[in-house]
Structure 1
Amino acid sequence: MALVVAWVALAFTLPRAVPRTLTVDITCRSGNSVVGVWIEATAGGSGWASAGVQGTAKAARYTFSHGFGGDYQVRAGCGGTADNWAVRTASDTRGDLYRRLDCDDTRYLPPDPAVCTDVPAG
Protein backbone atom coordinates (compact mmCIF):
# COMPACT_ATOMS: atom_id res chain seq x y z
CA MET A 1 0.00 0.00 0.00
CA ALA A 2 2.82 2.39 0.86
CA LEU A 3 4.31 1.80 -2.58
CA VAL A 4 1.04 2.77 -4.28
CA VAL A 5 0.83 5.96 -2.21
CA ALA A 6 4.45 6.80 -3.10
CA TRP A 7 3.77 6.32 -6.84
CA VAL A 8 0.65 8.52 -6.69
CA ALA A 9 2.57 11.24 -4.84
CA LEU A 10 5.38 11.07 -7.41
CA ALA A 11 2.92 11.32 -10.31
CA PHE A 12 1.53 14.58 -8.90
CA THR A 13 4.99 16.16 -8.45
CA LEU A 14 6.42 15.38 -11.91
CA PRO A 15 6.46 18.24 -14.44
CA ARG A 16 3.47 18.22 -16.75
CA ALA A 17 3.92 18.36 -20.51
CA VAL A 18 2.77 21.76 -21.76
CA PRO A 19 3.97 22.00 -25.38
CA ARG A 20 4.88 25.55 -26.33
CA THR A 21 7.16 27.41 -28.69
CA LEU A 22 9.48 30.03 -27.25
CA THR A 23 10.61 32.90 -29.50
CA VAL A 24 13.58 35.06 -28.58
CA ASP A 25 14.92 38.08 -30.50
CA ILE A 26 18.50 38.82 -29.45
CA THR A 27 20.80 41.74 -30.15
CA CYS A 28 24.47 41.86 -29.17
CA ARG A 29 25.24 45.45 -28.19
CA SER A 30 28.72 45.33 -29.77
CA GLY A 31 27.27 44.49 -33.16
CA ASN A 32 28.63 40.93 -33.04
CA SER A 33 26.43 38.25 -34.56
CA VAL A 34 24.50 35.84 -32.34
CA VAL A 35 26.18 32.49 -33.06
CA GLY A 36 24.19 30.16 -30.80
CA VAL A 37 21.43 30.06 -28.20
CA TRP A 38 20.91 27.59 -25.36
CA ILE A 39 17.62 27.53 -23.43
CA GLU A 40 18.12 26.47 -19.80
CA ALA A 41 14.68 25.43 -18.54
CA THR A 42 13.96 25.10 -14.82
CA ALA A 43 11.39 22.31 -15.35
CA GLY A 44 13.60 20.22 -17.61
CA GLY A 45 13.84 19.95 -21.36
CA SER A 46 16.77 22.35 -21.91
CA GLY A 47 18.39 22.47 -25.33
CA TRP A 48 19.66 24.38 -28.34
CA ALA A 49 17.33 26.90 -29.98
CA SER A 50 17.00 27.02 -33.76
CA ALA A 51 17.67 30.11 -35.83
CA GLY A 52 14.33 31.51 -36.89
CA VAL A 53 13.28 33.48 -39.95
CA GLN A 54 15.34 36.66 -40.07
CA GLY A 55 13.41 39.88 -40.54
CA THR A 56 14.71 43.33 -41.37
CA ALA A 57 15.58 44.19 -37.77
CA LYS A 58 19.10 43.85 -36.33
CA ALA A 59 17.94 41.22 -33.84
CA ALA A 60 18.56 37.54 -34.47
CA ARG A 61 15.45 35.41 -33.96
CA TYR A 62 15.66 32.00 -32.32
CA THR A 63 12.87 29.56 -31.54
CA PHE A 64 12.69 26.62 -29.19
CA SER A 65 9.99 23.97 -28.83
CA HIS A 66 9.63 23.22 -25.15
CA GLY A 67 7.64 20.33 -23.72
CA PHE A 68 7.17 21.79 -20.24
CA GLY A 69 5.89 25.04 -18.79
CA GLY A 70 7.86 27.14 -16.37
CA ASP A 71 10.69 29.61 -16.42
CA TYR A 72 13.83 29.52 -18.53
CA GLN A 73 17.09 31.38 -18.98
CA VAL A 74 18.52 32.31 -22.38
CA ARG A 75 22.25 31.82 -22.87
CA ALA A 76 23.58 33.28 -26.11
CA GLY A 77 26.94 33.54 -27.81
CA CYS A 78 27.92 36.92 -29.26
CA GLY A 79 30.64 36.61 -31.89
CA GLY A 80 32.94 33.70 -32.57
CA THR A 81 31.49 30.47 -33.92
CA ALA A 82 28.68 28.12 -32.94
CA ASP A 83 31.29 25.87 -31.32
CA ASN A 84 33.41 28.59 -29.71
CA TRP A 85 31.53 31.68 -28.53
CA ALA A 86 33.60 34.87 -28.26
CA VAL A 87 31.34 36.23 -25.50
CA ARG A 88 28.98 34.20 -23.31
CA THR A 89 25.79 35.98 -22.25
CA ALA A 90 22.86 35.09 -19.99
CA SER A 91 19.42 36.52 -19.26
CA ASP A 92 17.26 36.52 -16.17
CA THR A 93 14.99 33.53 -15.67
CA ARG A 94 11.42 34.18 -16.87
CA GLY A 95 8.56 32.25 -18.45
CA ASP A 96 7.42 34.53 -21.30
CA LEU A 97 6.67 32.89 -24.66
CA TYR A 98 8.29 35.87 -26.43
CA ARG A 99 11.35 37.76 -25.24
CA ARG A 100 13.42 40.52 -26.79
CA LEU A 101 16.91 40.64 -25.31
CA ASP A 102 19.65 43.27 -25.43
CA CYS A 103 22.92 41.52 -24.55
CA ASP A 104 25.67 43.84 -23.33
CA ASP A 105 28.62 41.85 -24.62
CA THR A 106 30.79 44.99 -24.38
CA ARG A 107 30.99 44.45 -20.59
CA TYR A 108 32.11 40.84 -20.62
CA LEU A 109 34.26 39.95 -17.59
CA PRO A 110 35.08 36.23 -17.67
CA PRO A 111 34.29 33.84 -16.11
CA ASP A 112 30.84 35.40 -15.56
CA PRO A 113 28.60 35.77 -18.60
CA ALA A 114 27.68 39.21 -19.93
CA VAL A 115 24.16 40.34 -19.01
CA CYS A 116 21.17 40.18 -21.36
CA THR A 117 18.32 42.51 -20.41
CA ASP A 118 14.70 42.03 -21.41
CA VAL A 119 13.47 44.92 -23.56
CA PRO A 120 9.73 45.66 -23.48
CA ALA A 121 8.04 44.64 -26.73
CA GLY A 122 6.54 47.37 -28.82
Structure 2
Amino acid sequence: MQQQTVDKDALTVERLNWEGYRLDDELLSGYENVIYRLVELVRLGKRDDVMGNIVMTHLAKGHKIPQILVRVFDWKKVDDERFKILMLAYLAGIISRLSEKKKEGSDGQD
Protein backbone atom coordinates (compact mmCIF):
# COMPACT_ATOMS: atom_id res chain seq x y z
CA MET A 1 0.00 0.00 0.00
CA GLN A 2 1.36 3.40 -0.97
CA GLN A 3 1.65 5.92 1.86
CA GLN A 4 -0.30 9.11 1.27
CA THR A 5 1.65 12.31 1.76
CA VAL A 6 0.20 15.65 2.72
CA ASP A 7 1.45 18.74 0.93
CA LYS A 8 2.41 21.03 3.79
CA ASP A 9 2.02 24.02 1.46
CA ALA A 10 -1.44 23.06 0.22
CA LEU A 11 -4.26 25.49 0.94
CA THR A 12 -6.67 23.03 2.50
CA VAL A 13 -9.37 23.39 5.13
CA GLU A 14 -7.55 20.88 7.33
CA ARG A 15 -4.25 22.73 7.07
CA LEU A 16 -5.77 26.13 7.87
CA ASN A 17 -7.75 24.67 10.77
CA TRP A 18 -4.55 23.16 12.18
CA GLU A 19 -2.66 26.44 11.74
CA GLY A 20 -5.29 28.24 13.82
CA TYR A 21 -5.42 25.52 16.45
CA ARG A 22 -1.68 25.35 16.99
CA LEU A 23 -1.06 29.05 17.72
CA ASP A 24 1.07 29.63 20.80
CA ASP A 25 -0.66 30.90 23.93
CA GLU A 26 0.63 34.46 23.58
CA LEU A 27 -0.72 34.88 20.06
CA LEU A 28 -3.90 33.02 20.94
CA SER A 29 -4.61 35.60 23.64
CA GLY A 30 -4.44 38.32 20.99
CA TYR A 31 -7.35 36.72 19.17
CA GLU A 32 -9.50 36.33 22.28
CA ASN A 33 -11.32 39.67 22.00
CA VAL A 34 -11.57 39.86 18.20
CA ILE A 35 -12.29 36.29 17.11
CA TYR A 36 -16.06 36.62 16.64
CA ARG A 37 -15.67 39.98 14.93
CA LEU A 38 -13.28 38.28 12.50
CA VAL A 39 -15.82 35.53 11.84
CA GLU A 40 -18.44 38.18 11.03
CA LEU A 41 -16.04 40.10 8.77
CA VAL A 42 -15.26 36.90 6.87
CA ARG A 43 -18.97 36.14 6.53
CA LEU A 44 -19.53 39.64 5.11
CA GLY A 45 -16.64 39.21 2.67
CA LYS A 46 -14.63 42.10 4.16
CA ARG A 47 -11.32 40.64 3.07
CA ASP A 48 -9.23 43.78 3.68
CA ASP A 49 -10.64 44.20 7.20
CA VAL A 50 -9.95 40.55 8.02
CA MET A 51 -6.39 40.87 6.77
CA GLY A 52 -5.86 44.12 8.68
CA ASN A 53 -7.11 42.64 11.96
CA ILE A 54 -5.01 39.49 11.58
CA VAL A 55 -1.88 41.47 10.70
CA MET A 56 -2.39 43.79 13.68
CA THR A 57 -2.98 40.86 16.03
CA HIS A 58 0.20 39.11 14.92
CA LEU A 59 2.36 42.22 14.93
CA ALA A 60 1.06 43.37 18.33
CA LYS A 61 2.28 40.07 19.77
CA GLY A 62 5.59 40.23 17.88
CA HIS A 63 4.78 37.41 15.48
CA LYS A 64 5.24 37.17 11.74
CA ILE A 65 2.28 36.42 9.48
CA PRO A 66 2.44 32.74 8.52
CA GLN A 67 3.10 32.28 4.81
CA ILE A 68 0.01 30.10 4.48
CA LEU A 69 -2.17 33.07 5.55
CA VAL A 70 -0.40 35.37 3.12
CA ARG A 71 -1.35 32.90 0.38
CA VAL A 72 -5.00 32.88 1.48
CA PHE A 73 -5.13 36.66 1.02
CA ASP A 74 -3.83 36.46 -2.57
CA TRP A 75 -6.73 37.80 -4.64
CA LYS A 76 -5.39 36.29 -7.85
CA LYS A 77 -5.21 32.73 -6.54
CA VAL A 78 -8.01 32.52 -3.97
CA ASP A 79 -11.51 33.61 -4.97
CA ASP A 80 -13.97 35.07 -2.46
CA GLU A 81 -15.81 31.83 -1.67
CA ARG A 82 -12.61 29.87 -1.16
CA PHE A 83 -11.27 32.71 0.98
CA LYS A 84 -14.32 32.46 3.26
CA ILE A 85 -13.99 28.68 3.57
CA LEU A 86 -10.27 28.78 4.34
CA MET A 87 -10.47 31.69 6.78
CA LEU A 88 -13.41 30.17 8.64
CA ALA A 89 -11.39 26.95 8.96
CA TYR A 90 -8.47 28.95 10.41
CA LEU A 91 -10.72 30.84 12.82
CA ALA A 92 -12.53 27.62 13.82
CA GLY A 93 -9.18 26.19 14.87
CA ILE A 94 -8.55 29.24 17.03
CA ILE A 95 -12.05 29.06 18.54
CA SER A 96 -11.57 25.37 19.36
CA ARG A 97 -8.31 26.07 21.12
CA LEU A 98 -9.73 29.07 23.01
CA SER A 99 -12.67 26.92 24.15
CA GLU A 100 -10.32 24.20 25.36
CA LYS A 101 -8.22 26.71 27.30
CA LYS A 102 -11.33 28.23 28.86
CA LYS A 103 -12.57 24.77 29.88
CA GLU A 104 -9.15 23.90 31.34
CA GLY A 105 -9.21 27.12 33.35
CA SER A 106 -12.71 26.50 34.72
CA ASP A 107 -11.92 22.85 35.54
CA GLY A 108 -9.12 23.98 37.83
CA GLN A 109 -11.41 26.31 39.80
CA ASP A 110 -13.84 23.71 41.19
Higher strand share: 1
Q: TM-score, normalised by structure 1?
A: 0.26
Q: TM-score, normalised by structure 2?
A: 0.28
Higher helix share: 2
Higher relative contact order (CA 8 A, sep 6+): 2
